[in-house]
Amino acid sequence: MNKVYFLKDFKRLGKVAEELLLPFYPPNSEILVKIHLGEVGNQTALQPQDVKPLVEIFKKNKISLVFFDTPVLYQSVRRNVLSYRLFAQGKGWGKLGKIKIASRFQTFKAKDFQVEIAQDLLKAQNVLVVSHVKGHPLSGFGGAIKNLGMGGVSRKTKELEHNLGRPVFVDKCQGCGICAEVCPFKAFKMVNGQAQFENEACFGCSLCVIKCPHQTLAPRKALFDDLLAQAAALVIKNLPQRTFYLNFLKNITKFCDCFHHPGEKIAPDLGILFSQNPLAIEQASLDLLNQKAGGNLFEKVNRKDPYLQLKFAAGYSKGVVKYQLESI
């Protein structure tokens, strides 16, 4: 059974890192930390002070950290290597370790598309995947799967993930209007009792496909959650054996860290999860949040079932999501 450790007291992060993570990594080594370094203006993404206690423990033991991310698809200072690095430095990440933004990628074949994975992730001997759990308008929620499936790949792959989940009409529209009602980006309009699709407004979340009760719509290639999971499973498969996962259940907003203003907080801060299994840590994160919320939290706020990406990822990695939770 996969162990997931649950730390409720954020202040004990340094102590837990010493006991749990330090023995896992070799002394005098370097760890590549895959992390979202936060969008301009976003106050709820992970900040340097959130991981500082952990960094200090590593530093004391001569283990250095490289904070790592990939350029984003949309217009932002995080779109280019140099401007992203300078921005992250300005936020204080450079005081904790080196900052590296991916510029080289290697192509792999997933089921439905080519996935370009950051070479740094492929070459690293030691990896720590630090994910901030929060909502997301396209995938319902973002955790470790999102951090790797979108955050570990090239801009070209990100674009494909957004494009290939867009809807196409495969049957006659019955005019129920549900697609227009659920689309978070108003990419469907009802005109004369028929759904009209506006490609320019669409971000490819596939929610309209999932919700159309008449199977009138299909994704161009696969559901967004499926594409995200295909990419994540490939990244996970190619990470070194010495990879540990941390999920921060803190500042859980409706939308993701890519938003300047990610919306209201939708859950209380719960703690930090630790695991060597990316699927187990995702399942445990969702279960803990849902227990607290008394229902499927992210489906309620973003209409997308967050377990969907997990189900696909488990299928592609032939992995299990069952876990044993141990409070520490």
Residues in touch with ligand SF4 (CB under 6 A): 166-167, 173-179, 183, 185, 187-188, 195, 202-208, 212, 214, 216-217
CB of 178 to ligand SF4, least distance (A): 4
Q: Measured over all CA atoms, what is the biggest interatomic distance in the chain, rounded to whole angstroms?
A: 68
Q: Give the residue with the Cβ less far from ligand SF4, 1 or 191.
A: 191
Q: Give the residue with the Cβ less far from ligand SF4, 20 or 190.
A: 190
Choose among 70, 62, 4, 12: nearest CA to 37: 70
Pairing of strands 242-249, 271-275: antiparallel
Look at the block and give the residue holding tokens 């108003």.
Answer: 186
Q: Give the residue with the Cβ less far from ligand SF4, 118 or 205.
A: 205
Choose among 219, 258, 73: nearest CA to 159: 73
Q: Give the residue with the Cβ less far from ligand SF4, 90 or 193.
A: 193
Q: Give the residue with the Cβ less far from ligand SF4, 81 or 178.
A: 178
CB of 183 to ligand SF4, least distance (A): 3
CB of 15 to ligand SF4, least distance (A): 44
Q: Give the residue with the Cβ less far from ligand SF4, 100 or 303.
A: 303
CB of 202 to ligand SF4, least distance (A): 3
With contact defined as beta carbons under 8 Å apart, do 152 and 70 qualify? yes
CB of 170 to ligand SF4, least distance (A): 10
For residue 127, list its beta bridge partners: 32, 243
CA–CA separation, 10 and 8 (whole Å):
6
With contact defined as beta carbons under 8 Å apart, do 159 and 263 qualify? no
Pairing of strands 323-327, 2-7: parallel
CB of 225 to ligand SF4, least distance (A): 11
For residue 249, list its beta bridge partners: 271
CA 145 from centre of chain: 5
Tokens read off for 65 = 């950290």
